[in-house]
Amino acid sequence: MQSHYIMKFVFAQGDKGLTKKIINNEKRIPTAEFLMKLINSKSFENFYTENIDHLQLPTIRQYLANLFEERNVLSHLLFKEVDIEKSLGHRILTGERRLSRDNAIKIAFGLKLNVEESQRFLTISQNNLLYPFIPRDAALLYCLHNGISYRDVQDKLYEWGITILGDEIKHDKND
């Protein structure tokens, strides 16, 4: 099982401008364990006060910046690779535009996130998680789990007669 960490950053003015420094690296509580902690709490107020650090998600802007840095990816190249217009990508990064579910999934494939990382990314971007009982979501989960590239995912979805990412038209295998 993977370990999960909450990274907290502080921004400091240095010789080369504003720099980011990690101030601590706390282990993130698994969801099931955290849910049990909530359910077994005597009051929500106590639970909230004791767990405030775990109840706050990073902004999509912060999270994407960290992912791009961690994976050594340039945002404009990633957006090009996953068919997100440069201007839309810029508006997403500046917080001017909300990240749609399909675009979040495209980015997850572009960054080669696994299923768990992709689900977390969807949560942070305030989108619905992929649900294995929905055929399109099941296909996407399968592709994420198997590390299939974005372009190959699009081809497979089309081949399977499933709506491709960023398209509202369901494609028939017989087209």
Q: Quote the pLDDT of residue 95.
A: 85
d(Cα 57, Cα 46) in Å, to the nearest integer? 19
The residue ranges of the chain whose pLDDT is under 50 are: 1-25, 174-175
Residue type, 168: E
Cβ–Cβ < 8 Å for 162, 170: yes
Q: Quote the pLDDT of residue 173.
A: 53
Specify whether the backbone of 31 is left (phi greater than 0), alpha (psi in -120 to 50) or beta: alpha
Q: Count Cβ atoms below 10 Å from residue 85 Cβ, excluding itself.
A: 10
Q: Quote the pLDDT of residue 133.
A: 97
Q: Quote the pLDDT of residue 6.
A: 41
For 173, the 3-state DSSP assignment is: coil
Query: Looking up tokens 């109840």, which residue turns up?
Result: 55
Q: Quote the pLDDT of residue 170.
A: 52
Q: Can you list the positions of beta strands (E) in the chain?
A: 5-14, 17-27
Strand 5-14 and strand 17-27: pairing? antiparallel
Calculated CA dihedral for residues 150, 156, 158, 161, nearest 10 degrees: -140
